[in-house]
Amino acid sequence: MTTAKPSTAKPSTAKPSTANPDTTRPGTAGPRYPSRWAKAAGLVAVVFLSSGCFIHYKQSAVNPKGSVARQLNNLFWPVFWIAVGVFVLVAGLVLIAVIRFRARSDDEAPRQVHGNTRLEVMWTIIPALLLAGIAIPTVKMVFDINRIPKNLMQVDVIGHRWWWEFDYKDPAHPQDVLFRTANELHLPAGQKFELNLSSVDVIHNFWVPNLAGKLYAIPGRFNHMVMDADNPGTYYGQCSEYCGTSHANMRLRVIAQTPADFASWESGQQAGPATPESADAVTGAQLFTTKGCTGCHSITGISKGTVGPNLTHFKSRSVFAGSIFENTDNNLRAWLANPPAEKPGSVMPNLNLSAAEIHGLIAYLDTLK
């Protein structure tokens, strides 16, 4: 009987290969990937480069075009750079602590500074001074932008789901409304307006970033703000408080005009509606009454509906349906065919109109200039 001798072969000391066979290229030592620091630097660069385009957006709070927006912007930048400085300081100290005092062994614990009176006083006083430096100009600006000058022209801004109503008040009798329009707020460039904000249903938030800050439109009360535009132009805004299904479709435009153009527009808005002359327009006027449109929409001398926008000068507006559609016949045709399909949650129902009826209604609406 024989017994097997134990093997005398020495175990291999070769280290296992760490190369990834799927990524290593022939003739190379291994793949080269960007380091973590390079990736982080690239990400930061992308963020800063993309943020440089923000000022060119249609809605930009850092591109002020009115006196109120300029006050807000002048406060924003100092506070922003203070915040950047605090972030860099705190993040830098954290990184230094992580790198310098990283765990090595129990014998290398960092020196403790608990109970250091000087440090505690410093990190209490410095933040307090920073907050005071921010609070003083902030409180001053809040009082400044909420100070309403006397004898300004007033416009009541009423939020609806999901569109904006603008009621221009009589300067001599502010309790009286001169005329109503929707979705487009006209004002003369260089002149301040007082806007009185309210709502008929839920809380909305009126915001035109280039001209002013945000202000709530709350049912049952009026909030007040001042707005002006430096130069003629079109400025874009929206509801910035979630208010339901079509919140994102509740937009508006502020159209600043020269004083002469505004006076002409204002005079036209106070006039009555045009009389339909063509056969199609006359038919459309009859359909407007028989199809129940008068129950929701108001046209001076014809109907007094308040659920939907006033249509007396509908064709003088460049947009409709909460400023989401250009005011063209093709868009009107699609809208009248099925409003809820064009704007989710639309209060205006599908009236199941025929193509001929839609054609007549569009012919009539085209006369309301």
pLDDT of residue 30 exceeding 60 = no
**Separation between Cα atoms, residue 62 and residue 180, nearest integer Å:** 31
pLDDT of residue 115: 75
Nearest to 210 by CA among 193, 227, 189: 227
Residue 322, by phi and psi: left (phi above 0), alpha (psi -120 to 50) or beta? left
CA distance linking residue 202 with residue 243, whole number of Å: 7
Average pLDDT for 177-201: 96
pLDDT score of 311 more than 60: yes
Q: Give the chain's domains with CATH numbers.
A: 153-269 (2.60.40.420), 279-365 (2.60.40.420)
The partner residues of 64 in beta bridges, in order of sequence, read none
Nearest-10 crossing angle of helices 67-100, 117-145: 160
Q: Which two tokens stand for residue 30?
A: 């291994």
* 172 confidence band (pLDDT: 50, 70, 90): confident
Q: For the chain, give me the number of helices (H) and strands (E)?
A: 8, 14
- Both tokens assigned to 33: 């990937």
Mean pLDDT in residue range 225-237: 96
Return mean pLDDT, the chain: 87
Name the residue type at position 70: R
Confidence of residue 50 (pLDDT cuts 50, 70, 90): low
Average pLDDT, integer, range 37-46? 71
The pLDDT value recorded for residue 151 is: 87
Region label for 312, one of left (φ > 0), alpha (ψ between -120 and 50) or beta (otherwise):
alpha
Q: At 262, is the secondary structure helix, strand, or coil? A: helix
> What confidence score (pLDDT) does residue 1 get?
45
* 205 closest CA partner among 231, 238, 181, 183: 238
Contacts of 341 (CB under 8 A, 6+ apart): 350
What Rg value do the Cα atoms of the chain yield, rounded?
33
Rounded to 5°, angle at Cα 318 from 238 and 53 = 50
